Structure 1
Amino acid sequence: MADASTSVRVKKIPDNLYEVCLTNLVNYIQKSKCERNDLRSLPDTILMDVYYKMLQEKRLCILGAELSELDMFERLLRFSSAQLQLLQCFQAVIEHGSKLSTELASGYLARCDANTKSCNWLIQLGLRLGGFLNEAGWYADAQRVLLRCRDLCQAQPQTAHYKRLTLECCHRLLNTQSAYCCFPAAAETYALALKLLGLPEDVATKLPDDSFSIADTCFKALQGDEETPTAGACAEEWCGACGAWGGSALLALLCKEFSALFFVRCDYSAAHAWSMHALALLTPHTPPKITIEVVRACGKACVVKRRFSAAGLLVRQGVALARAAFGAAHPRYAHALIDYGFYLLNIDSITHSVVVYEEALSTLRRVFGRSSLHVATAQEDLAYALYVLEYSSGRFYKARDHAERAIRIIENLVPPDHLLLASAKRVKALILEEIALDTPAGQDMRAEPSLLEESESLHKAALELSMMAFGEMNVQTAKHYGNLGRLYQSMHKFQDAETMHLKAIAIKEQLLGAEDYEVGLSVGHLASLYNYHMNMHRAAEQLYLRSISISLKLFGEQYSGLEYDYRGLVHVFTQLKRHDRALHYNVLLQHWHGTVRLHSTHTRGRAGAVGEQYSGLEYDYRGLVHVFTQLKRHDRALHYNVLLQHWHGTVRLHSTHTRGRAGAVGEQYSGLEYDYRGLVHVFTQLKRHDRALHYNVLLQHWHDLREQSKAEQQPALGDEQIIPLEELQAKFFGVND
């Protein structure tokens, strides 16, 4: 035992001499309570190392006192290579109980009021401090600093130089105000930026058709004889918009911020147009940080515009660039991962999306701890992805935990009526609704009404916050109406549900047009309400047909939402005793399954197997299952469900002609989902909960296999390759663009 422990001690690598000196210095400062001025003479690199050692040694009180000195903090802001360490020190001090963000912002405002420093020095400090507070997630204090900085810029002679500095301030302000949902203030900043660029207020309606004249107007507005306040080379503090790349980079940043503002306001066409304009302004000399921000904005805009091929290219480019420029431990890389997770969620690669969100959350926690708006929004995104992932299993407790953590963090950091709470409450409301509806038979159901009522309260709170921020005529408000409609349908408040769905449809139609994806989604929800709960089958028929038309136009025959519309029409025509039409849509439903399966497997000869799906046996078996279920003869219903499952297995085996793959392809066959669900329902009705649980496990296994297959189609995290900028731009713009 002695030898073993000696061996372990020998292998331990001691701290190097520099680390030992830092530790001893920190301990000396702690014990002797020396004056703060003792550290002022240290070079910036050593000063940052001392502060980081204070963080490692948990000397947070003295670290907070040091960082609260505005002059010392200003030195560290200039030391760009230590920004990640400064973010960690800053957030750790705040979590320790300090009001460091507020103290620094107040110190800056006091310095401006004292007028003891030059105006140029104050402007540069305001830009740096406001930008840092924004990146740290302390948006309210960042806005205070940047608003004063903007006023200082506008108080100067409006030369081209000071106009550019004002625009620098505008782009930081827009970033802060968009992230913090300060939309009236953001509208003012947007209008000021357009004015300085010489653009009309309605310029967003002219994109992308007028992109060339817009770019020309902007460059002319930034040109001038006075490039710096003094002659000669550009000093470090005049880094705002000077240099060969300054004009195009600043314009790219502004267009990116315009895109972000329209994105959070749900004007996705304008968001996409501005982001593409920003992408066109990038050059090989643009700093990596700006390039990453622009590429990320383009990727998100393409996702919401359902241009998934372009979106995948852009979000992976953003991830690769962020990792190469900042490393995997930097929050900018984590934010790029969140965009990637958003893309994966929208292309139905749910398992992979959850993995990416978890990696992003872990990175943000290492930098910001557990009390940051950045962490809260990442937890909310993860909660929603887990909600979608576990939709079929009913295991929502992990999703619920993340949603509740996000809400607690946000409630501690923002006013109670803040819009940031609306989104987190919406996610929790959706989760609670499903927990209530998926409570297994045989368990105590007394908790169900309270869960649905809590879900209703959360949805209403989210709707109220959305109304305060956007008003009624906004896509986000319409989505909240739609969520309430689905909830009221679950609560059997069918008239209220109808009212909510009709409101959602009317708003979306007016804002997005009658053929938009969001309109089709709400139309399908209203059709389901009419079909299954209000016996308005003829009205449901027209709504289903409209939803199908929108889906086919936008996404094609493989779109997953078509399944629910086809099933709905089968039910509609069955209830109307129009069995020929019911059969027609049952055939279309089976054709949809065949199309999806053909797309997901790459084996030869499968087209012949698709034809066998239309055998009368399938419809007879399904019909008998339905008949005996209605007659409460669950034993016979089970018998024919087993025969139906056997039929599917026979067809499945016949449709694969490659050795060793029949089992794997068979287990992922889409038809199995409905058979497993049917057996779960049968055994639940028969009170044989052990068998119901067994088939629920098989159903979950089926979903896991499908998600694993989807995840395997995505590149592994870290394998994304950087595409040269010229090649990337060539994919989006023509030769003359």
Structure 2
Amino acid sequence: MHRVFLYLSKMANASSSALRAKKIPDNLYELCLTNLVNYLQKSKCGRNVLDGLPDTVRMDVYYKMLQEKRLCILGAELSKLDVFERLMRFAGSQLKLLQCFQAVIEHGSRLSAELAASYLAKTECGCNSRLDLIHLGLRLGGFLNEAGWYADAQRVLLRCRELCQEMPQTTYYKRLTLECCHRLLNTQSAYCCFPAAAETYALALQLLGIPDDVTADLPDGPLAVADTCDKALQTDEEEYIDSDCPGFGADSSWGWSALCTRVCKELSALFFVRCDYSAAYVWALRALRMLTPHTPHKITIEVLRACGKACVVKRRFGAAGLLVRQAVALARAAFGVNHPRYAAALLDLGFYLLNIDSIVHSVAVYEEALCTLRRVFGRSSLHVATAQEDLAYALYVLEYSSGRFYKARDHAERAIRIIENLVPPDHLLLASAKRVKALILEEIALDTPAGQDMTAPTLLEESEALHKAALALSMMAFGEKNVQTAKHYGNLGRLYQSMQKFQDAETMHLKAIAIKEELLGPEDYEVGLSIGHLASLYNYHMNMHCAAEKLYLRSISISLKLFGERYSGLEYDYRGLVHVFTQLKRHDRANHYNRLLQHWQELREQSKAEQQPALGDEQILPLSELHAKFFAPND
């Protein structure tokens, strides 16, 4: 066995190019790893020999444990905080470490909670320097966040923030506190911890020198924040560099410029999940402007993604496509197609494609993202659940006309099961997945022929329970005046229409329209969607054809303005107007909208022949060219 250790050490000391030049057979190295794993499995006293191996070999040993399904011994090794810290420091281990970490948890370990508890205990024992503990907390909290274990990540990062604030408040430690706030914002946004995120947000603004009430009750609040932020971001870089503390130079990923860019990106993400899309958009633009050719790829990709999503909800589709495709191309080039950062960029591309009505391509992109995430995280991760929920909704939209909803239903139910196993029963993350399943069940019930399946009423009742649960979670998190709450009202309105509860349906639709108009303005896509649903209720069920006509025309006007003549939703409005004018005996108008419907069908056939750029064909633009295109006045 000594020869095995000696051989492995020699392999680690040789560069990868040297290994290729010598043509050392891979199977010999793999055989040594297997023998070492077998030896460690049998001899507990021999495990300390791993301490003498270089990081690259040690990670390969652990990965071999994963491949050989030796998950008990792997879990025992990874649960040692000093071992885990060493692996986190090794830049080449991240993807393998994520896979090993998740596999151990799926095997039944509480590795995430154990590591968090070990860190908290270590901060209390007084045996380590505060600075070392802070850096360890930032690394561990960041890793747990990237792995999707947000609750444990938050525990670590909150303690890390306390340690920062207990130190003398020099510029250097304020900067460390801001770094901690950045990572906390990422965790708290993803896990929907909005009260805690509000505290972190206020502290981040304080550290940046921005008043925490700058957005209060001001219609142009986000713009005011951005202008004030500019002054804070123009602080002399040298003021924030401590020569005694490496890793914080101007060109590092923790440099002041990069740190401020990441904070702006996280503020955008926070406002996005809170459905304050105007603020999300402004903070994302601020981060985008701050990118330089020297910004690390990871940060650039995150900023492009955040800004691309904000552009989608602001209906700047040309700009959104430019940014999300650039993010996908950069993630592929920097991390490869098997990395979760590439999958995350794909999810944003799928979101963009879904919103521009390119449904088939959206489904394909979501499917690839899900496959990538499953390869890394297995089948019991919040990251995987999010991808399954996104894919379920895209499949629901794709199969809306065909009625083949069972694949969509399967993905929605898998997403709910994963989330229910990982979060408390009243967690907001369940709301969206339940909403998607409810929509699917409603359509399955409606597509079931009368008398063929006695479960149809049950499906509608189950859909109602899911919609009400999602609404309750949204009300708890956001209150009534929120876009997500309005969407849940609208979904209940459609369901009550299907259940022939027409007065209840009207009440829900009117609530949805009122909230959306107040928050988004009268010409927003979401407003048009709810108006179309109310028009359908008036047209087909309440014999209010004149009122339905006005609503359909308004919905069509919004759709044409935002999406053009090929938009899929126009079909329902055109068909609705044909029915309206047929009922009103105005056959000339009915024929007019029949012709428009036929023209729309021709355009849709043309759209099917048009191809979206294939994955892998995206070109990485120089940042100066990307900025020039994005900030072009006519976009």
TM-score using structure 1 length: 0.79
Map 1:160-239; keep pairs closer than 5 Å.
Answer: 160-203=171-214, 205-208=220-223, 211-220=226-235, 225=239, 227-228=241-242, 231=243, 234-235=245-246, 238-239=247-248
- 2:315 paired with 1:315: no
Return the offset for 1:555.
3.6
TM-score using structure 2 length: 0.91
- 2:118 paired with 1:104: no
CA contact (8 A) 1:177 1:183 kept: yes
1:559–1:400 distance in 2 versus 1, CA, 3 Å: closer
> Which string of whole-angstrom CA distances, capped at 9 and with x for unpartnered residues, describes residues 346-370 of structure 1?
1121111111111111111111111
- Which is further off, 557-566 or 374-383? 557-566
> Which string of whole-angstrom CA distances, capped at 9 and with x for unpartnered residues, describes residues 622-645 of structure 1?
xxxxxxxxxxxxxxxxxxxxxxxx
CA distance in 1: counterparts of 2:231 and 2:56, whole angstroms: 43
- 2:274 paired with 1:272: no
- 2:159 paired with 1:145: no
Match of 2:529 in 1: 521
CA contact (8 A) 1:300 1:339 kept: yes
Return the offset for 1:560.
3.5
CA contact (8 A) 1:558 1:592 kept: no
Match of 1:386 in 2: 395
1:185–1:567 distance in 2 versus 1, CA, 3 Å: same
Return the offset for 1:545.
3.0
Select 1:86's aligned residue among 97, 103, 106. 97
Match of 2:599 in 1: 594
CA distance in 2: counterparts of 1:45 and 1:539, whole angstroms: 70
Number of equivalences = 606
- 2:548 paired with 1:536: no
1:355–1:553 distance in 2 versus 1, CA, 3 Å: closer
Match of 1:325 in 2: 334
Map 1:118-157; keep pairs closer than 5 Å.
Answer: 118-157=129-168
CA distance in 2: counterparts of 1:547 and 1:571, whole angstroms: 16
CA contact (8 A) 2:261 2:290 kept: yes
Return the offset for 1:531.
1.2
Match of 2:404 in 1: 395
2:492 corresponds to which letter in structure 1? L
CA distance in 2: counterparts of 1:558 and 1:402, whole angstroms: 29
1:397–1:595 distance in 2 versus 1, CA, 3 Å: closer
Percent sequence identity over matched residues? 77
1:721 corresponds to which letter in structure 2? Q
Return the offset for 1:554.
3.3
- 2:615 paired with 1:724: no
Match of 1:633 in 2: none
Map 1:697-708; keep pairs closer than 5 Å.
Answer: 707=608
> Which string of whole-angstrom CA distances, capped at 9 and with x for unpartnered residues, describes residues 227-248 of structure 1?
32xx45x52xx44877598122
CA contact (8 A) 1:475 1:508 kept: yes
CA distance in 2: counterparts of 1:382 and 1:564, whole angstroms: 24
2:42 corresponds to which letter in structure 1? K
- 2:41 paired with 1:20: no
Return the offset for 1:163.
1.6
Return the offset for 1:492.
0.3
> Can you give the 5+ residue segments of structure 2 that lack an aligned partner in the other structure?
1-23
CA contact (8 A) 2:441 2:459 kept: yes
CA contact (8 A) 2:233 2:257 kept: no
Match of 1:575 in 2: 583
2:592 corresponds to which letter in structure 1? V
1:101–1:241 distance in 2 versus 1, CA, 3 Å: farther
Match of 1:477 in 2: 485
1:85–1:571 distance in 2 versus 1, CA, 3 Å: same
1:504–1:734 distance in 2 versus 1, CA, 3 Å: closer
Select 2:505's aligned residue among 497, 513, 517. 497
Return the offset for 1:137.
0.4
> What SS is found at the alignment partner of 1:34?
helix
2:189 corresponds to which letter in structure 1? S
CA distance in 2: counterparts of 1:411 and 1:244, whole angstroms: 36
- Which is further off, 106-115 or 532-541? 532-541
CA distance in 2: counterparts of 1:74 and 1:409, whole angstroms: 28
Select 1:75's aligned residue among 72, 86, 99. 86
1:396 corresponds to which letter in structure 2? F
CA contact (8 A) 1:259 1:272 kept: yes
> Which string of whole-angstrom CA distances, capped at 9 and with x for unpartnered residues, describes residues 10-69 of structure 1?
xxx985322211111110111122254332222211111111111111111111111111
Map 1:396-545; keep pairs closer than 5 Å.
Answer: 396-440=405-449, 444-545=452-553
Return the offset for 1:276.
1.2
CA distance in 2: counterparts of 1:245 and 1:105, whole angstroms: 23
CA distance in 1: counterparts of 2:415 and 2:253, whole angstroms: 43
Return the offset for 1:212.
5.0
CA distance in 1: counterparts of 2:589 and 2:306, whole angstroms: 44
Which is higher, the Rg of structure 1 or of structure 2?
1
> What SS is found at the alignment partner of 2:294?
coil
Aligned residues: CA RMSD: 2.2
CA distance in 2: counterparts of 1:353 and 1:563, whole angstroms: 20
Match of 1:616 in 2: none
- 2:547 paired with 1:546: no
1:241–1:408 distance in 2 versus 1, CA, 3 Å: farther
- Which is further off, 164-173 or 582-591? 582-591
CA contact (8 A) 1:485 1:498 kept: yes
1:188–1:245 distance in 2 versus 1, CA, 3 Å: closer
Match of 1:607 in 2: none
CA contact (8 A) 2:571 2:600 kept: no
- Which is further off, 16-25 or 124-133? 16-25
- 2:183 paired with 1:285: no
- 2:53 paired with 1:45: no
CA distance in 2: counterparts of 1:428 and 1:250, whole angstroms: 39
- Which is further off, 432-441 or 496-505? 432-441
Select 1:246's aligned residue among 251, 255, 258. 255
CA distance in 2: counterparts of 1:337 and 1:218, whole angstroms: 31
CA contact (8 A) 2:434 2:466 kept: yes
